[in-house]
Structure 1
Amino acid sequence: MSLFVDWIFQGQDWLSSFGYWTLPMYMVIYFLLTLVGMPAIFLYLAAGSMFGFVKGFVVVSFTDTLSTSACYMLGRTIGRPMIRKWIAKRPRFAQLDHAVAIKGWKIVLLTRLSPILPSSLLNYSFSLTRIDFWQYLFFSWLGMLPVIGLYVYLGSVGVNLATGNNNPRQITLTIFGLLLAGVAFVYSARLTKQHLSPTKNSRK
């Protein structure tokens, strides 16, 4: 935990050195890292710590939508051959196209709510399916809102909790939120596995 807090503080100090450019720099870094497939959870937490919940939530949601669009476009154009080879070696991702053909936007929404499939890699995987771009973009954005909200909130209170600057109400809300998120993630993960199961899809 102390290493994470140190990392947050170091990141804050470095970004703060850009003055008015702190927010744009964060957005550029977020955009580039998600393009190369980095797990976004650390970026969510960092946004909450640096900008607070409301501002961090808006910034992450907006920037994530931009990177989601860019990954889709790259996957449909110059990155298509490489992504196709990568997905062929991973059965769970390979099932997406068949699942989307049956369930459409519901699969996009469901997989965004599930923690078992990395968001950045899903972006490229969906680019190879038959999903319409605007459906993909809207339901990706909608499905990511609760995930982004949870981790940005944890980032906004995490440093205080780790350093002892907290209050009982904040601790209670955080624990309650984690429990609810845990239940929701387990349920969505189970549904995602069912819908992406080769056996289940073959019976549809």
Structure 2
Amino acid sequence: MCSDRAMGERAVPDSADSISRFPLTFWEVTIAVSVVLIYVLGLLGVYLTMPASDYSFLKLPHSLEDLQVLRDHLEDYTSDYTLQVLVGYCVVYIFMQTFMIPGTVFMSLLAGALFGVFKGVALVVFTATAGASSCYFLSKLIGRPLVFSLWPDKLSFFQSQVAKRRERLLNYMLFLRVTPTLPNTFINVASPIVDVPYHIFFLATFIGLIPAAYVTVRAGIALGELRSIGDLYDFQAMATLFLIGIVSVTPTLMSKNKP
């Protein structure tokens, strides 16, 4: 394990160097572009294998109005072409998670509207975990300079917390996943950089996303009653998530208080 001093030095890049050059090298950019092309080809393949129809309504939802239009068009289509919709949904969700594209909350709502609570939660947890894992490995390859340039303060904080909680890291990662302490996007990108092992990352992601996925998917069933995204996380929902998070991190707190 690196010393605190070494970790601190790694967490704070030389300011002159970070300003004077682009964060990514030529080969890192090449890798990133290659991964993007692979996902784009996957999306294109899904689109070309769909039955002939008018797909002018297909677009990434950025508002509840967009989502309601998408739901209205896909409801009948899903019953006739369930497999195509499932594959397309998975590819789009994983693509968005991998490249930190905003809007996955709308995709989670859509899962509830199209597939119901239990199937919707299973679908969201699977795709969110797969997308987070894809982001983890992409960041492991090329993410270090980007994270240093975008979130230097958050990275230093995350790095110090991981170092202090190495023995109970799963509990701490569960706490972060369940509660909105740090953005999920940041956790996905920063975890390999601060040496969070993948098996810990995977378990914390898979288990920790279930409560929030349940809240969002359940709200998707009554999509027409939502007025804003803020309605998803009322006081009761937030209190429940924090309670689950506190329970998950309790073993870590108890181990710190032992003499």
Asked if Structure 1 and Structure 2 have the same fold, meaning a TM-score greater than 0.5 normalized by the shorter chain, the answer is yes
Q: Which has the higher helix share?
A: 1
Q: 1:130 to 1:4 in 2, by over 3 A?
A: closer
Deviation at 1:151, TM superposition (A): 0.6
Residue of structure 2 equivalent to 1:183: 239
Contact 2:136/2:192 (<8 A) preserved? yes
Gaps of 5+ in 1: 164-174, 192-204
Distance 1:10 1:116 in 2: 33
Q: Identify which of 186, 205, 210 aligns with 1:145.
A: 210
CA contact (8 A) 1:47 1:56 kept: yes
Rg comparison, structure with higher value: 2
- Measured after TM superposition, the shift of residue 75 of structure 1 is 1.1
Q: Deviations over 1:115-150 (max 9, x none)?
A: 243212220011211211101110121111101111
- The answer to whether the 8 Å contact 1:101/1:130 transfers is no
Cα pair distance change 1:162/1:132, threshold 3 Å: closer
Whether 1:31 and 2:31 are equivalent positions in the alignment is: no
Q: Which residue of 2 aligns with 1:22?
A: 85
1:8 Cα shift? Answer: 2.2
Deviation at 1:54, TM superposition (A): 1.2
Give aligned pairs, total: 174
Q: Which residue of 2 aligns with 1:92?
A: 154
User: 3-state SS of the aligned residue for 1:130?
Assistant: coil
Are 1:122 and 2:184 an aligned pair? no
What is the distance in 2 between the residues matched to 1:190 and 1:92?
Answer: 21
**1:75 maps to which residue?**
139
Question: Please, which runs of 5 or more residues in structure 2 have no aligned partner?
Answer: 1-61, 248-259
What TM-score results when the alignment is normalised by the length of structure 1?
Answer: 0.73
Q: CA contact under 8 A between 1:40 and 1:119: conserved in structure 2?
A: no
The CA RMSD measured in Å over matched residues stands at 3.0
2:178 to 108, 113, 125: 113
Per-residue CA distance 1:158-200 (angstroms, 9 max, x = gap): 33x359xxxxxxxxxxx9x955322134567999xxxxxxxxx
Partner of 1:155: 220
- Pick closer, same or farther for the CA change 1:39–1:105 going to 2, 3 Å: farther
Aligned-residue sequence identity (percent) comes to 21
Q: Which residue of 2 aligns with 1:171?
A: none
Q: Secondary structure at the match of 2:216?
A: helix
Distance across 1 between alignment mates of 2:64 and 2:188: 29
Amino acid across the alignment from 2:238: G
> Aligned-pair distance for 1:48?
0.8
**1:33, CA displacement in angstroms?**
1.1
- Tell me by how many angstroms 1:35 deviates: 1.7
Greater RCO, 1 or 2 (C-alpha within 8 Å, sep 6+):
1
Q: Equivalent residues in 2 for 1:167-182 (5 A)? A: 178-182=234-238
CA contact (8 A) 1:44 1:155 kept: yes
d(CA) in 1 for partners of 2:205, 2:245: 16
What is the alpha-carbon distance in structure 1 between the residues aligned to residue 103 and residue 90 of structure 2? 15
* 1:46-57 correspondence runs (5 A): 46-57=110-121
Contact 2:148 2:155 in 1 (8 A): no
With the length of structure 2 as denominator, give the TM-score of the two structures.
Answer: 0.59
